[in-house]
A and B are shown apart, each in its own frame.
Chain A
Amino acid sequence: MWAFLTKDLLLFWRDRKEVAVIILLPIVLVVLLSLVVPGMFGEETSESYDLDLALVVEDQQDQGFERFQEEVEPSNDQSQQMIDQLQAMPPVDGLVAYLNSPELAEWVTVNQMDLDQAQTQVDEGELDAALIIPEHYTYQLLNEMVLDEPSEATLQFQASGQSQEVDMLRQMIQRYLDQINLQYAVASSGSQVDSANDNLPEGGVENVEGQSMFSMEHYFTFSMAALFTLFLAATVATRTGIEKREQTFNRIALTNAPPLYYLMGKTISTFILAWLQMMFVLVGAHLILGVFTEEGPTFWVGLIVMATLYALAIAAISSIMTSTMLRVKNNDTGDGIFMAVVMVLGVIGGNFVPINVLPNWLQQIGELTPNGLILATLTEWVQDQTYSLLVMPTVILVAIIVTALSIGIAVYPKRGEQS
């Protein structure tokens, strides 16, 4: 069997230009697509400078002032003067006015609504962000500013996804509050904008569920990696066709070498190439585009394990193609069938366009194709490194490997049966 494997690898090596193109094409495409098509896919927020902000005012400004006046006897004239000034230009009113000011109106649309509505719409991605001014905010703010007492006066800012614009808006609100503080010469404490997602990594992409975000670079990386290994399988079968046409396969059949060694040599060499191809895409996308810069060792372990299983599944599928190629009368028929199979798998697996544009029933079938499965699995894995996520895909991939190999062996022509 070693003889067959080294022969196949040597043949690939002789053809290294063509093989290099096949292996490196996906990473090239990933880079190109990431440069050319930003914003065509994924977050609507990055489509244009047009932010939809929910404004939730739970604070009752007037009551806050009244309550503060009732409870607090102004200790001196200075404090009373400050209260008067604040009442003349209340901070929350000022903030709302600021949000509607020409500076922001260009690219921020403010929709005032209640808390539930805001959260639902942000969750569903209809709105980009929500600014929540909590109950008693004015009251607490007054305590803090006038009496210099610590309080919990914080604004809450929630975003459905991170984008440049959302971040800009957050910073501008922060700057506005800082200005108020400066104006009243009060320490800046207490008037922070509290991002709802403080638990997330610094500067990290974020959404409300508290997961890393799945970007289009990730999609391109995973889908191209999955798709082009399929093409590789078809390429191997084409090469089998050449061995059939040039009669070297017959010559092999004239020896006493166990027939399946031929198939195993093909399958193992396919695995090696498919694995290399996966690694080139994944590592290449990481090094060139930095798609996985925030991921730790856990992520890489899972990624490599799944990529390896996928490469095995592809090799097993290529064994069916190899055996079929040896049986069909005409090589072109074989090539045609395999290309069609690859295209269909590619489409329903979501490697050409994201799977969610397909009808539901097709999506479900799509996730059973190895390429659809690996795409879906890695998509989840990049957002959430929970090992249990990998159990089902592993089971399915192993099932695919075993089934495909069995079919490949069963279809492999017995002596005197090849065309």
Chain B
Amino acid sequence: MLETVQLSKQFKGKTVVDEVDLYLDQGESVGLLGPNGAGKSTTISMISSLLKPTSGDVTLNQQSIIKNPAELRAVLGVVPQDIALYQELSAYENLKFFGRIYGVPKQQLESRIQETLEIVGIKERQQGLIKTFSGGMKRRVNIATALLHNPKILILDEPTVGIDPQSRHYILEMVRQLNQQGTTVLYTSHYMGEVEQLCDRVYIMDHGQVIAKGTKAELLSILSNEDTINVQLDRIDDEFLSSARAIDGVRKVEVSGNSIHIIAKQERQIVSQLVKISDQFDVQIKNFQMETPSLENVFLHLTGRTLRD
């Protein structure tokens, strides 16, 4: 139902979103995954008609929404990355104001406010001023505000950044339920786990481009003949590293702190080779772990970087 076609955005000649094609079918839950600065928020701004694309199009049921966004706005709820609320107003007052300008009918407004407060679980604190709320509670109101007009499509831009595990869990569960009740969801995050847990399909973005897409299974199959091995060492030795890279079958060796991540073809010899060179250069292996493949590994495989770089 919602689709982007060769969507691009440049800021002062710098391409931030580069010919992105993605689509959302009704009832789906789709993840948009990528490190900070990948262009996720910019893409979402264009999809939600806040920002005009430099080129490309956004369509709702095959109708471009760039010139006529009204129809999309009526069915779209956007949870922005930042807390977009009046800090000096209470949760209730924020919801009332945004409900009114979202055009929620007067007779329904009060019950809608109470329903959404119920959904996000802050009904008891609705009279509190936003500025007095914790990060997690602010995030919940931020989401509630996007739900007031009962949107068919819900876009969430990193809704769990910087909050306590309990709120995070609550939010994920809530989004899952909304999706199960029929809301189409586009969920943006740089946390693999959330997207893996929540989404049917995933787009992986980096440097403004979609570098991989598909169901979780499809993406993981990219890794089907690869192993990821995490090795913690007592020290990092340059000769050890170059020998490790030279091992037959090793594709990439990443260093972070005293650990190395090795991506290699699935061959047994690699482990014995590693043990051999660690003896040779007097490097001690403190911890050794074969990873079960995850989207994190997919990203690492595709870009040679981890998502949190």
Contacts and interface: CB of A to CB of B under 8 A. Distances in A.
Given A4-B101, A251-B98, A256 B70 contact: yes
B87 A251 contact: no
A246 B87 contact: yes
Contact of B80 (A3, A6, A243, A247): A247
Interface in A1-42: 3-4, 6-7, 10-11, 14-15
Interface in B86-132: 86-89, 93, 97-98, 100-103, 129
Interface residues on B, range: 20 to 34
Q: Main SS of the interface on chain B?
A: loop
A250 B89 CA distance: 17
Nearest to B129: A14
B101 A257 contact: yes
A297 interface: no
Nearest to B53: A416
Given A246-B82, A246-B83, A252 B101 contact: yes
A10 to B, nearest CB: 7
Nearest to A262: B101
B52 A3 contact: no
B145 interface: yes
Given A7-B97, A251-B98, A415 B69 contact: yes
B85 A250 contact: no
Interface in A228-286: 243, 246-248, 250-257, 261
B74 A256 contact: yes
A254 B149 CA distance: 12
A200 to B, nearest CB: 54
Contacts of B93: 10
Contacts of A256: 70, 73-74, 102-103
Given A248-B84, A415-B69, A255 B101 contact: yes
B84 A251 contact: yes
A9 to B, nearest CB: 12
B78 interface: yes
B50 interface: yes
Interface string B121-158: 00000000100000000000000010000000000000
Given A250-B80, A251-B80, A256-B73, A416 B88 contact: no
B86 A254 contact: no
Contacts of B101: 3-4, 252, 255, 257, 261
Given A254-B48, A416-B51, A246 B88 contact: no
Nearest to A2: B100
A7 B96 CA distance: 10
A14 B84 contact: no
Interface string A388-419: 00000000000000000000000000011100
A11 B89 contact: yes
B85 A416 contact: no
B49 interface: yes
Given A3-B101, A246-B83, A247-B80, A254 B88 contact: no
